[in-house]
Amino acid sequence: MRITVQEAPFDLGAEANAFAAGRMDMGAIVTFTGVVRDLPGDPLLAMEIEHYPGMTEAALTDIATRAQERWYLGDVLVIHRYGRMAPGEAIMMVATAAPHRRDAFEAAEYLMDFLKSRAPFWKREITANGASDWVEAKDTDEDALSRW
């Protein structure tokens, strides 16, 4: 398992290749990447992400550990950035490796669902019109946890 919280951009291809390398017993690698999305109507200049150093790493490790207990996984990777990023930049990625695809897909979804509302990150959107608003958590994100 690798959990990385960093300000710097990461290379999705290099990370995915490194994650997949050297394992002969994993038939399925799933990766998910979250990307800063531009807003319709009021163009997004930047997204800023604040986090809680210490708790962030602990929460991500806890979520990944629970995924490993629940599914048959060879490995789990979570990279999440903080700080300022532009539209189109990758915010975070998860990767799961499993012998079979169902475990890899389900574990990746589980990781994303919990990471969205149980890892201490807060997003703020800065738009061309001068708005600078904290992104509000959605009820649907909380509801998504109940299926697990």
Partner 1 sequence: MDVLYFAWVRERIGLPREQIETDAATVNDLVAELRAREDRYDMAFSDLGALRVALDQQLSDFDAPLAGVREVAFFPPMTGG
88 is a contact residue toward partner 1 (CB under 8 A) = no
**Per-position DSSP letters for 22-75, written without gaps between them:** T-SS--EEEEEEEE--PPSSS-EEEEEEEE-TTHHHHHHHHHHHHHHHHS--SE
Q: Interaction with partner 1 in 19-58: which residues (CB under 8 A)?
A: 34, 50, 52, 54-55, 58
Round to whole Å and give the CA distance between 13 and 146: 32
Nearest to partner 1 of 1, 145 (CB atom): 145
Q: CB 117 → partner 1: shortest distance, Å?
A: 6
- Type of residue numbered 25: D
108 is a contact residue toward partner 1 (CB under 8 A) = no
75, two tokens: 């490995």
120 is a contact residue toward partner 1 (CB under 8 A) = yes
Residues that bind partner 1 (CB under 8 A): 34, 50, 52, 54-55, 58-59, 80, 91-92, 112, 115-124, 134-137, 142
